[in-house]
Structures are given as structure tokens and as C-alpha cells.
Structure 1
Amino acid sequence: MKVTVVVVFYKQAVEQSKTFSSLKKALLDRRDSLEDLNIILYDNSPEKQEFAAEKYPGQIEYVHDHRNLGIATAYNYAWQMAQQNGSDWLLLFDHDTKVTEEYIEQMLTDHRASEEVVAVVPKITTNGIMVSPVYSHSLRPLQSERPLEGDQEKPVMAINSGAMLKVSFLNEIGGFNKEFPLDYLDHWLFHEIYARGKKIRLLRVTLEHELSVMDYSTVSLNRYKSILDSEMKFYREYKTDLHSSYRKQLVKRLAKQLLVVKNKRIALYTLKRLLGK
């Protein structure tokens, strides 16, 4: 099984990142596996880093893209490289996921994916709480039961980091949707998997990941706009069965923003989008 691995960085030194440090320990010492692995370090930071790929074993490529077009562009680059080098799977990482040897072992050897299974994911926890995957039939999935390991018959959503995807499926859907350059790309991806009659496999292994949570006291207006625009697009054009409920929830969010969020421009933007502006 040949795998292309992509790690996306932003304003993070490669060798100091949680993902690369743990990958180095869990993967780069497995010389028996390196022949079938291509690793891409895709850096969206403003400045290029000095990174000597040649001092590490295996096939490692450092790519600097100062444009910072988001993770969809980085993933699409890796998907194209995976096609060129004949990889069967594409493994995705952010720069802040701690990889374990058990995870690598299961990802590379333990699963026997059927034709229906086009994604393999671990359990992801944050502060001891399982946050991925979750069932996707609800707007509040963290308040519901969690999926058990194995092939998932019911639609679920998983975060991008730590997920391994069949290159042939990515070919089928034309890669990653640039309409979701950063936010809600994972929602779109796993929605597409089930919309096309495919499944994901949940492994028994668990990874700890620092899941980013929107904090109105620190989030910038531009960042909030990006999140809200992608969120609205997803529920309006893809998860249409929840669109009505989502609109009602957005009204409640607006009320909360008006009452407790100091930056009233955030509430004003929510109101504008609710009014269709």
C-alpha cells in the first residue's frame, strides 16, 4: 500500500510542530515502511523556513506557499502528487496533531478496506472528550452518542487531520472543494462520501488533537466572516435537510452575540447574512 502524507503548516516551525515531531518518532524510524511513503510538508506561512529534508530518511518534500490560500489548495497539491507517484491513499495532517506508533501501525497495516470504504479515521479527543468522528444528522453532534469502531453505516463527519482518503475517490470527486478553502472543508468532504454511497472506517486507535474553538473574545471579524460564510454555504447547498434548523440556531446565536459579545461588528455581520446580504 503506497501512501502520500501531507502536513499543512501556518506560522509554525516544522521541526517544532507537534505533528512533525511525533511523525519523526513514530514513522521516520520505520525504515521498512518508508519506501511506500511520500511526505509533503506544505507551509502556508508568510516566510519560507530553512528545512533540510535531506537529513531525514525517506521521500520528504517541503513546499512554501506564501499566498496562504487555505488547506484545500494544500490538499489538492498533495492529491496531485499522490496521483503522480501512484499512491493508493492520501493521509492528512494539521501541524498540531500528536501521532502515535499505534496509530501509524493501524493506518498502514491493520485495515483491509473494502470498495465502499474510501476513508479511514481514528478517534480524536480534545481534553479527554471524543470530538471526531460524530454523527452528522444533528446540529449539536457532541451532545449525542458517538460512533463505535468499524465501518460506519450511518453518515458521520470527521475532522481532516488524521484522516486517510482513497486517491481513487478523490479522483472521482475532483479533489478538494475550493469553495471551502479552510472552514467546513471536512463537513463537505464527509458529506460527499455518504452522498455517493461510500463509507468510512473508524479505527480503535485514539489521537489527541487541539481542536480550534471559536472564541468571540479573540476571533477577528475577518476570521468570523470566513467561518460563517462557509457554514452558511454548507447548510444551504449541501446539508439541506438541516438548513431550516440551522437558520433558527443562527437567530439564537445572533441574540447571544448582541448580549454578550463585545465586538458588535460580529453580530452585525451575522444579521446581514441572515437578511441575505
Structure 2
Amino acid sequence: MEKTMRLTAIIVLYEISADTAQTICSLQAMKKTAAWAMIRQIHFVIFDNSKQAQLVPTQLLPNFEYYHSQRNVGLAAAYNQALAIAVQQNSDYLLLLDQDTKLTPSYLAELFTAVTAKVQPIAIVPKIQAAGQLISPIRAAQPFKVIPVTSGYQNEVTAINSAACLRVDFLQQCGGFELQFPLDFLDYWLFYQVRQTHQPVLVLQSQLMHELSVMHTQSISTARYQGIIRAEWLYYHRFQKISSWQYWRHVWLRLFSQLILKRDFAKVKLLLKWMIRRKPSV
């Protein structure tokens, strides 16, 4: 008998109307396709980090619940809320989605095949393309380098959060998502935890389009940039530990990039102040 698939998915929103978010629009576009039958089997959690709550149309998705956090608690807290709901729903997997990923029927078909197989992977990820580049999943053993991996079962990889699907029992064993990484580097921490199990990640053939804000640091506020620096320092000093030389070489290259190429002097000042202290002041 074919296994009944139980899947909870979380979509995190920030300052955008739910019915205009690309992720949700891509799901709605599948209403008249065979993929809609799969979508109807997913329990969606819409977690809104916007300043104001919104009235979400009941027909937005077949099966969803809406939560709002005026404080903008980030991703980790939102994911933990969804994990608790996934446990209540007896879900086998939790699917992570942000607002800027364009989902496709082929991705959903591959995903459902994987989660209903006799041997269920600990983590399932698609290939993600942003700004014309394959950015995920990549080789974890090459910090600060984007080296994409091929489809199939792969070891030692890192992937972005959006469209990654993980076993609920594994996430429970981790104690949920790490609140030390409320937003940035949460995906690095997550796949570091996957690697500690010595189980491979299933990389799907499907490629999804995604808008990744951190690819364009000029558009990032100094507060967000400071958060990225803090999270990066924390991750490479407490989890995937690398040599001091390797880390500080990367920091100097980042400084020169901000100074010479991007001429973003606010971020240069922040980096210099931080480098003198030798630790993020956040």
C-alpha cells in the first residue's frame, strides 16, 4: 500500500501582501494542473513578520493557517512555530518556503515522489537559481565559494532554506531551529546539523527561480549587514570551524569590495570598527 504523505509547509512573509507573494502566486497558478492535487495534501502555515497583520482570503490556498508577529521575529522562531504545528499534524516533513521562490509542478512531483518513497531522505532540496546563477545547493567544504552540486544523493552540502524539505523527527532531534541565527546563516546551521548525521541530502533535478536579497549588499541596510557579519562570525567560530587565516582573508576581501567596488562607506566603517574589536559588536 502506498504511504500516505503528511507534509506541513511554512511560508514566511515580510511587508508583502500574501496574494502577491511570488511563492503563493506560483502555487495558485497550478490550480488547473495535476499539481493541485498535491498542493491540497499540504498543510500550509503562513507566518507574517510584517508590521501590520493582513486579512488573508480563505481561498488563498486549500489548507492553511495564518500567524502574525508584529515584532518581526525572523525565520528561526517562525520555523519553530511551524515545526510545532507539523508535530501536531503528524507530518513526516516540514517544507520551508519564503516569499520569493517560484515553485513548479515538476518540483512538487519530484518532492512527493521522494517523501512517499520507502526510504525517506533526511533532507530534500531543489537546485536554486538567482540572478542567472546556480546558488544552491553547494559544497560545504569550500567556505565562501559557490560550487554547485549535481542531482542525486550528495554528502557534505549546504542549501538555502527556501524549498528545502526536512524530516520532522530530525528537526525534533535538533531541538528545533537555533535562535542564535534568527535570520542569516540559519540555513548554514541547519545543513551543518544534517551533516552531523552522516546521511546524504537528496538533490532534485528541478531548478527553481529565487530572489536572494543578500546577493546585492548595496540594497541591504547597515543593521541587516551587521546581522550578517555577526551570524557569519558565530557560524564559523562555533560550528563549521575554519582557520583564522581563512576567515580573516575573507573579511579583508569583503572590506576591499565595499570600499573599492561598491563604495559603500557606511558598511566600510562598520567593518573597520568590527575588525578592530575582532568580534562583531552585536
Does TM-score exceed 0.5, indicating one fold?
A: yes
Shift of 1:28: 8.8
Task: Tell me by how many angstroms 1:249 deviates.
Answer: 1.7
Aligned twin of 1:114:
119
Tell me which amino acid in the other structure corresponds to 2:96.
L
1:158 counterpart residue number: 159
Q: Does 1:252 align with 2:257?
A: no
Of the structure 1 ranges 126-135 and 173-182, higher mean CA displacement relative to structure 2 is found in: 126-135
Q: 2:19 touches 2:60 (CA, 8 Å); kept in 1?
A: no
Residues 150-185 of structure 1: per-residue CA shift (max 9 Å, x gap): 1113x0100000100100100111111000000000
Unaligned runs of 5+ in 1: none
Give matches, 1:65-76, under 5 Å: 65-76=69-80
Equivalent residues in 2 for 1:95-110, closer than 5 Å: 95-110=99-114
Q: Aligned partner of 1:89: which letter?
A: Y
| Aligned pair partner of 1:83 in 76, 87, 95 | 87
Counterpart in the other structure of 1:261: 264
Deviates more, 1:56-65 or 1:26-35: 26-35
1:149 is aligned, of 148, 151, 155, to 151
1:40 aligned partner: 45
Determine the structure 2 residue equivalent to 1:123.
127
Q: C-alpha distance in 2, partners of 1:128/1:99?
A: 17
Aligned equivalent of 1:134, options 133, 138, 148: 138
Equivalent-residue separation in structure 1 for 2:217 and 2:91 (angstroms):
41
C-alpha distance in structure 2 between counterparts of 1:28 and 1:110, whole Å: 23
- 8 A Cα contact 1:28 1:34, kept in partner: no
Structure 2 unaligned residues grouped into runs of 5+: none
Structure 2 residue identity aligned to 1:50: L
Instruction: Give the superposition deviation at 1:238.
Output: 0.6
SS in 1 for 2:179: coil
Native 8 Å contact 2:38 2:108 kept in 1: no
Distance across 2 between alignment mates of 1:262 and 1:216 = 12
The C-alpha deviation readout for 1:36-65, integer Å capped at 9, x for no partner, is 321111100000111122x35632111111
Q: Percent identity?
A: 33
- Of 242-251 and 23-32, more deviation after overlay is shown by 23-32
State the 1:25 CA deviation: 2.4
Q: Say what the alpha-carbon RMSD is for the aligned residues.
A: 2.2
| d(CA) in 1 for partners of 2:64, 2:162 | 19
**Hey, what's the Cα distance between the residues in 2 that align with 1:16 and 1:160?**
20
Match of 1:221 in 2: 222
SS in 2 for 1:141: coil
CA distance 1:66–1:165, change in 2 (3 Å): same
Equivalents in 1 of 2:220, 2:194: separation in Å? 31
1:47 partner amino acid: Q
Query: Which residue identity does 1:123 align to in structure 2?
Result: K
Conservation of the 8 A alpha-carbon contact between 2:12 and 2:49: yes
C-alpha deviations, 1:83-136, integer Å up to 9, x for none? Answer: 001000000111010011111111112563736x31100000113321100001
Number of aligned residue pairs: 272
Displacement, 1:216? 4.6
Q: CA offsets, 1:18-48, max 9 Å, x none?
A: 0000112237965543563211111000001
Distance 1:113 1:174, change over 3 A: farther
Q: Distance in 2 between matches of 1:109 and 1:34?
A: 14
Within 5 A, what are the aligned runs for 1:229-240?
229-240=230-241
CA distance, structure 2, for counterparts of residue 107 and residue 183 of structure 1: 25
Contact 1:136–1:156 at 8 Å: present in 2 too? yes
Residues of 2 paired with 1:243 and 1:28: CA distance? 54
Provide the rounded CA distance (Å) in 1 between the counterparts of 2:13 and 2:131.
Answer: 22
What residue number does 1:184 align with?
A: 185
Normalising by the residue count of structure 1, what TM-score does the alignment of the two structures yield? 0.90
1:4 is matched by which residue type in structure 2? T
Q: What is the CA distance between 1:214 and its match in structure 2?
A: 5.0
